[in-house]
Amino acid sequence: MTSAPLAARLSIPSGPLFFPVTAFGPDGSVDLDTYRRHVREGVDAGAAAVFACCGTGEFHALTPEEFRDCVAAAVEVTEGRVPVVAGAGYGTALALHFARLAQDAGADGLLAMPPYLVFAAQEGLIRHFTALAEATPLDVVVYQRDNAVLTPETVVELARHPRIIGFKDGLGDLDLMQRTVSAVRAAGLEDVLYFNGLPTAELTSLAYRGIGVLLYSSAVFAFAPDIALAFHRALNTGDDVTANRLLDGFYRPLVELRARGKGYAVSLVKAGVRMRGLDVGHVRSPLHEPPDEHIEELARLVRQGRKLIAETATAATGASW
């Protein structure tokens, strides 16, 4: 395990942030061997961090014991090569329990997901996320989405906590995000990390880059790491031609397919992992599996994405002569 601070390790854009799915066996129980393989393959492919048991990993569907075992398995197979960040959610009492389980399992940090169900006022959200940050020595990234939408002033207050190192946006309000970044910067808090946490974050990554949000979740990396890596390289080298080709030919159609089913931000990704030949099982209820025609459309899009990468590589080789 490295002793380098989590913020320093996450701020290096060496590869996509990997959100593995949680593998289930034929009887519906957690399949830790397959999960270990999935995580190991992602790290070997170039992931910069593993976010275990978060949204894509069906945190909502895991028992505390399953959560602990999956986080421990991720820590085991990464061997300190990249940080492991574990999800923590529900009401404050349960979120603290999951945080302590993650600490015991060896996680490097926490992704603090919205509290369960309730729409709380800003002072309640501050209490919730502060309590989570104080429950363990682990650094925390606060996740804004759904019923946990934070004002810029709230983010400034949370960012003053020494263990709250980042802010992940799953809302998609660029005006609010710009005002948040500006308020935090004006408060002299220059080291806060910002993450684009929309379901297919690559689609909006160019816009987020314009306001200084350079880190993003990559669900695509779980089932098409070559496409995700090609886009990540293009984004971080300023190759907007390649980035836009992939946006137009792969990511936009993928988002349109994802919008055709409830819960597809998870179940379609899991189907994509199975499509690669790794049997991670099906999603747990209340999510449902996509129909065959949607999985076939996903396969076609992946082929299209790889064709775009090959064409870009061929054009670049020709241009170098």
Catalytic residue list: 143, 168
Asked if residue 301 lies in contact with residue 257, where contact means CB atoms within 8 angstroms, the answer is yes
Give me 99's structure tokens. 């945080």
Burial 116-149 (b: 16+ CB within 10 A, else e): eeeeeeeeebbebbbebbebbebbbbbbbbeebb
Which residue type is seen at 75? V
In angstroms, what CA-CA distances link 287 with 60, 67, 258, 261?
11, 18, 14, 10
Q: Report the DSSP beta bridge partners of residue 17.
A: 49, 217
Chain mean position to CA 316: 31
The C-alpha atoms of residue 166 and residue 231 are separated, in whole angstroms, by 23
